[in-house]
A and B are shown apart, each in its own frame.
Chain A
Amino acid sequence: MKNPFHKWSIRWKMAAGFSLVLFLSVTVLLTYFIGKQRHALKSGLEARVTTVANMLSWSLVILVDAAAVTGDVKPIEEVIESARQDSQLVGIRVENASGTRLAGFDDKALTGTDTNSHFKTTRFTDDLLLLNMPIRKDDNNIGVLRMGYSLAGLHSEQRQLLLTGLGIGLVTLLAGILLAFAIGHRISRPLVRMTSTFKRMAEGDLNQQPVRESGADEIGFLARAFNELLQQLKDLSQLAQAISQGDLTHTIKTKGDLADAFRRMTASIVEITSSFNQMAARMDSRISEILTTAKEQEAGAAQQAAAVTEVTSTMEELAATARQISQNAESVTSSAEEASRAVTDGREALFAFVKSMNSIETGNKTISDNIVGLNRHVQQIRGIIDIINDIADRSDLLALNAALEGTKAGEAGKGFLLVAAEMRRLSENVFNSTAEIKQLITEVTEATNATVMANESGLRATQEGTERAAEAEQAFGRIVETIEETSRAAKQISLATQQQHTGTDQIVSAMGEVANVSQQWLNGIRSTTQAVSELSTTAAQLRQLVSRYRLGSE
Chain B
Amino acid sequence: MNTLSGQPADNQQLPEQELNLFVFRSGSETYAADPELVQEVVAAGEPTAIPFVPDWVEGVVSVRGKIVPVIDLVGFFGLESTTTYNRKRLILFAVDGVEFGLWSEQVLGIKSYPAGLSETPLSTLPATLQECLQSQLRHQEVLVYILDMNKLLEKSRQQVAS
**Chain A contacts to B: CB under 8 angstroms:** 393-394, 397, 400-401, 403-404, 407-408, 411, 414-415, 417-418, 421, 424
Supplied contacts A400-B109, A404-B22, 16 more A-B pairs, CB within 8 Å: A393-B43, A400-B107, A401-B41, A403-B109, A403-B110, A404-B35, A404-B41, A404-B110, A407-B20, A407-B36, A407-B110, A408-B36, A415-B4, A418-B4, A421-B109, A424-B109
Interface size on B, residues (CB 8 A): 17
Give complex CA distance A394, B42 in Å.
Answer: 9
Residues of A within 8 Å of B22, CB to CB, are 404, 407
Q: What distance in Å separates the Cβ of B133 from its nearest Cβ neighbour in chain A?
A: 22
**Pick from B4, B38, B107, B109: contact of A414, CB under 8 Å:** B4
- B1 located at the interface, meaning its Cβ lies under 8 Å from any Cβ of chain A in the complex: yes
Q: For chain B, what secondary structure do more than half of its interface residues adopt (helix, strand, loop), or is it mixed?
A: strand
A397 to B20, CA, bound (A): 19
Top 10 closest pairs, chain A to chain B, by CB:
A407-B35, A400-B41, A407-B110, A414-B4, A403-B110, A404-B38, A401-B40, A415-B1, A397-B43, A401-B41
Give the chain B neighbours of A403 by CB distance below 8 A: 109-110
In the complex, A418→B5 CA distance in Å?
A: 13
Q: How far is the CB of B63 from chain A (nearest CB, A)?
A: 12
Q: How far is the CB of B19 from chain A (nearest CB, A)?
A: 13
CA distance A401 to B63 in the complex (A): 14
CA distance A394 to B22 in the complex (A): 19
In this complex, what residue of B is CB-closest to A418? B4
CB nearest neighbor in B for A404: B38
Q: List residues of chain B with CB within 8 A of the CB of A421.
A: 109
Complex Cα spacing A415 to B36, Å = 17
Q: How far is the CB of A390 from chain B (nearest CB, A)?
A: 10
* A403 to B91 alpha-carbon distance, docked (Å): 14
CB distance from B103 to the nearest CB of A (A): 15
**B147 CB to nearest A CB, Å:** 16
- Nearest chain-A residue to B39 (Cβ)? A404
Within B63-119, the residues touching A (CB, 8 Å) are: 89, 107, 109-110
B7 nearest in chain A by CB position? A414
Residues of A within 8 A of B38 (CB): 404
Nearest CB in chain A: distance from B18 CB, A = 12
Q: How far is the CA of A415 from the CA of B109 in the complex (A)?
A: 15
Residues in B whose Cβ lies below 8 Å from that of A400: 41, 107, 109
B76 CB to closest chain A CB (Å) equals: 23
**Bound Cα distance A415, B4 (Å):** 8
In the complex, what's the smallest C-beta–C-beta distance from B130 to chain A, in angstroms?
A: 28
Q: How far is the CB of A393 from chain B (nearest CB, A)?
A: 7
Q: Which residues of A contact B35 (CB under 8 A)?
A: 404, 407-408
Q: How far is the CA of A4 from the CA of B39 in the complex (A)?
A: 174
A321 to B78 alpha-carbon distance, docked (Å): 101
Least Cβ–Cβ distance between B97 and chain A, in angstroms: 16
- How close is A368's CB to chain B, nearest CB, in angstroms? 41
Enumerate chain A residues within 8 angstroms of B4, measured Cβ to Cβ.
414-415, 418
- Give bound CA distance, A418 to B4, whole Å: 10
> What's the nearest-Cβ distance from chain A to residue B145, in Å?
20
B34 to chain A: closest residue by CB: A407
Contacts of A408 in B (CB 8 A): 35-36
Q: What is the CB-to-nearest-CB distance from B108 to chain A, in angstroms, rounded to a whole number?
A: 10
Q: A-facing mask of B13-55, CB < 8 A → 1, else 0?
A: 0000000101000000000000110111111000000000000
Most chain-A Cβ atoms within 10 A of its Cβ — which of B1, B39, B107?
B107
Contacts of A424 in B (CB 8 A): 109
- Counting chain B CB atoms within 10 Å of each CB, the highest count among A394, A400, A401, A407 belongs to A400
B35 CB to nearest A CB, Å: 4
- A414's nearest neighbour on chain B, judged by CB, is B4
In the bound assembly, the distance between CA atoms of A487 and B38 in angstroms comes to 105
Q: Would you give 19 A-B contacts (Cβ < 8 Å), ordered by A?
A: A397-B41, A397-B42, A403-B110, A404-B22, A404-B35, A404-B39, A404-B40, A404-B41, A404-B110, A407-B22, A407-B35, A407-B36, A407-B110, A408-B35, A411-B8, A414-B4, A415-B1, A415-B4, A421-B109
